[in-house]
Chain A
Amino acid sequence: MDNKITVSNLDFFYGKAQALYDISIKIPEREVIAFIGPSGCGKSTFLRTLNRMNDTIPDTHAKGEVIIDGENIYAGGTDVVALRRKVGMVFQKSNPFPKSIFENVAYGIRINGIHKDKADMEVRVEKALRDAALWEEVKDRLSTSAFGLSGGQQQRLCIARALAVQPEVILMDEPASALDPIATQKIEELVVELKKDYTIVIVTHNMQQAARVSDRTAFFMLGKLVEFNPTKKMFTNPDEKLTEDYITGRFG
């Protein structure tokens, strides 16, 4: 199995405060990787280093290497815009743009100049919405505001938006934490479905969710990567005592 992302000795700082300590991890292609750990353990911070989203926070810096497809994204001269097109992101709180449903999906296609003409755009928007399992619910109201959708639909719209620009990796930061169980189930089914084409990294607070959707799980604590193993092993026979204590709910 090829490694899509290889992280070596990554430290991350908010000002002088260190948030990540010496993280090294290899993420294989077309798998679902779950990041678990207590709040404030650095899993979201780490996720956001993978598409350099942390650049938007002033006074932060990273040390170490994050190599995606053979290129260190923290090397000088990296095109962050191209990187983010390749490594898409879905956020904890759904964040549709104040535009129509169609335009939300079309936006990324348009700014990246992916489509050939208007008809091609429509095809691409439909495909993205179908891939996000949203098409049937919105096909009759594509021109209405995205804010008219329910929370779960908005989140799937954000996933469709991310898929539309044809990324290779999708980062998901607790994508279902604000959703009800039925909407959560839909997102989880979607994640498993998307694995065929994409490498997916998903941060979650929900242990069962990690067990259900992921192939491998990484457990973080206090900014350190405690354990990274296949999910089955992680939840049945973890290497570290700390992991076992967390998974069985002894703390956290």
Chain B
Amino acid sequence: MTNQETAFHRRRKFISSLMTILTAACAVFAIVVLLIIISYIAVRGVSSLSLQFLIDTPKPVGEGGGIGNAILGSVMMTGMACIVGLPVGIGAGVYLAELGNNLFGKVVRFLADTLIGIPSIIVGIFVYTLVVLPMGRQSGLAGGVALAIIMIPIVARTTEEMIRLVPNAMREGALALGAPQWRVTWNIVLPAASTGIATGAMLAIARITGETAPLLFTALNSRFYNYYMDLPMASLTVQIFNYATGPFDVEHKMAWAATLILVGSILAINIFVRYLTRRKY
């Protein structure tokens, strides 16, 4: 009897440590892949990095060139996507969390989840027919619209989740003071959920900064600094695609450097988000 129990315990201990090692190995594997990618990009990209590279526009092979206009284009189109996407997404999230416990809310929630899962190139094609064809040319505007469409459902769903985390007791406390519903949402619920909503917004920004496919049809590309949203616009991701598919080694080197800038800024956004969320708790 005692012997059996000891054997049983030994077996359990063995399986326990085996599983610990296995899961730890998986965790290490996941991290190592990411580290390899980042360090590889850093090693390949850092040699072509210079201030000139960050300011210049693309030039014919052999005359240098850079990604200045692409950085500006990415910032402008991401900025436009934020101007449209953040208010709409946050507003939709507030509706879903606070008022959306009905059939309409269920439909919107389902469609938002579907939209999140749609390949981004399809959003590009959609905006191509919706904006590019009527305008007669590709433009930064169309690129921004495509990015906003990708952004809205992500922001809406994360906002909804964050607002649902606000304890109901807080809402009731405000209602019991004679606060109307809109004041409860505006003064109590939104501030309480603000850190989480900001995190969701930043992650959505990080996500659209890395999008290439929806910009190929919509913003196209440009070899020049372009300050107007109604003209074709360069972006980091499309510029990387162009450099990487070019036939010359110099171009490949610049693609690596641009990738380093892109990954670096997404990493920076994520770290910034961590910092923001850590400060309050």
**Chains A and B are bound partners:** yes
Tell me the residues in window 79-131 of chain A with beta carbons closer than 8 Å to chain B beta carbons: 81-85, 88-89, 91, 93, 95-99, 107-108, 111-112
Encode A140-180 as 1/0 by CB contact (under 8 A) with B: 00000000000000000010011001000000000000000
Number of residue pairs spanning A and B whose beta carbons lie under 8 angstroms apart? 66
- Residues facing A in B157-199 (CB within 8 A) are 167, 169-180, 183, 187-188, 191-192
Pair B175/A53 contact, Cβ less than 8 Å: yes
What does the 1/0 interface line of A46-77 toward B look like (CB < 8 Å)? 00000101001010000000000000000000
Task: Specify which of B178, B180, B188 lies most central, judged by the most chain A CB atoms within 10 Å of its CB.
Answer: B178
- Complex CA–CA separation, A67 to B180 (angstroms): 22
Write out the residue numbers on chain A whose beta carbons fall within 8 Å of the beta carbon of B175.
53, 56, 84
Q: Are B172 and A111 in contact (CB under 8 A)?
A: no
Contact between B177 and A88, CB atoms less than 8 A apart: yes
In the complex, the answer to whether B178 meets A107 with C-beta atoms within 8 Å is no
- Residue of A whose beta carbon sits closest to that of B184: A111
In the assembled complex, the Cα of A91 lies from the Cα of B187 at a distance in Å of: 20
The contact size tier of chain A is 20 to 34
Among residues of A, the one whose C-beta sits closest to the C-beta of B280 is: A98
- B152 to nearest A CB, angstroms? 27
Q: Is the CB of B177 within 8 A of A91?
A: no
B178 adjacent to A162 (CB under 8 Å): no
CB <8 Å contact, A98 and B177: no
Q: Which residues of A contact B178 (CB under 8 A)?
A: 81-85, 108, 111-112, 165
When chains A and B are docked, how far (Å) is the Cα of A144 from the Cα of B89? 32
Q: Which residues of B contact A111 (CB under 8 A)?
A: 177-180, 183, 187
The interface bits of chain A over 165-198 (1 if a CB of B lies within 8 angstroms of the residue's CB, else 0) are: 1000000000000000000000000000000000
Residues of B within 8 A of A (CB-CB), count:
19
Closest to A59 in B: B101
Complex interface: chain B residues within 8 A of A82 (CB) = 178
Nearest Cβ on chain A to B189's Cβ, whole angstroms: 10
B188: chain A residues within 8 A (beta carbon):
97-98
Q: In chain B between 81 and 134, which residues have their CB closer than 8 angstroms to a CB of chain A?
A: 101
Annotate B63-91 by CB proximity to A: 1 below 8 A, 0 otherwise: 00000000000000000000000000000
Q: Is the CB of A158 within 8 A of B173?
A: yes
The answer to whether A95 and B169 touch across the interface, beta carbons within 8 angstroms, is yes
Evaluate contact between A53 and B170: CB separation under 8 angstroms.
no
User: What B residues does A89 contact at CB under 8 A?
Assistant: 172, 176
Q: Which of A91, A93, A99, A111 has the most CB of B within 10 A?
A: A111
Contacts of A58 in B (CB 8 A): 101
Provide the main secondary structure of the chain B interface.
Answer: helix
Cβ B172 vs Cβ A107 within 8 A: no
| Known A108-B177, A111-B183; contact A95-B172, beta-carbon cutoff 8 A | yes
Q: Are A98 and B172 in contact (CB under 8 A)?
A: no
How many angstroms between the C-alpha atoms of A23 and B78 in the bound complex? Answer: 60
Partner of B171, one of A56, A93, A161: A56
B173 to A165, Cβ gap below 8 A? Answer: no
Q: Give chain A residues whose Cβ lies under 8 Å from the Cβ of B101.
A: 58
Complex CA distance for A56 and B172, rounded to whole angstroms: 8
Question: Are B179 and A91 neighbours in the complex by a CB distance under 8 Å?
Answer: no
Q: Give the docked Cα–Cα distance between A97 and B192 (Å).
A: 8
Instruction: Provide the bound-state CA to CA distance between A82 and B175, in Å.
Output: 11
Complex Cα spacing A205 to B183, Å: 34
Residues of A within 8 A of B170 (CB): 95, 97-98
Measured CB to CB, the closest approach of chain A to B73, in angstroms, equals 39
Closest to B180 in A: A81
Query: B179 contacts which chain A residues (CB < 8 A)?
Result: 81, 107-108, 111
Q: A91 near B174 (CB under 8 angstroms)?
A: no
Docked CA distance A92–B101 (Å): 26
* Given A95-B167, A95-B170, A97-B170; A51-B176 close (CB under 8 Å): yes
Q: Do B169 and A93 touch across chains, with their CB atoms under 8 A apart?
A: yes
Name the CB-closest residue of B to A91.
Answer: B169
- Cα distance A158–B171 when bound, in Å? 13
Most buried by B among A97, A112, A161: A97
Min CB–CB distance B242 → chain A (angstroms): 48
Tell me, rounded to whole Å, the shortest Cβ–Cβ distance linking A42 to chain B.
18
27 contacts between A and B (CB under 8 A): A53-B175, A56-B171, A58-B101, A84-B176, A85-B177, A85-B178, A89-B176, A91-B169, A91-B172, A91-B173, A95-B169, A95-B170, A95-B172, A97-B173, A97-B192, A98-B188, A98-B191, A98-B192, A99-B191, A107-B179, A107-B187, A108-B179, A111-B179, A111-B187, A112-B178, A161-B177, A165-B178
Query: With A108-B179, A112-B178 given, can you name 6 additional A-B contacts, CB distance below 8 Å?
Result: A53-B176, A81-B180, A84-B176, A85-B177, A91-B172, A97-B174
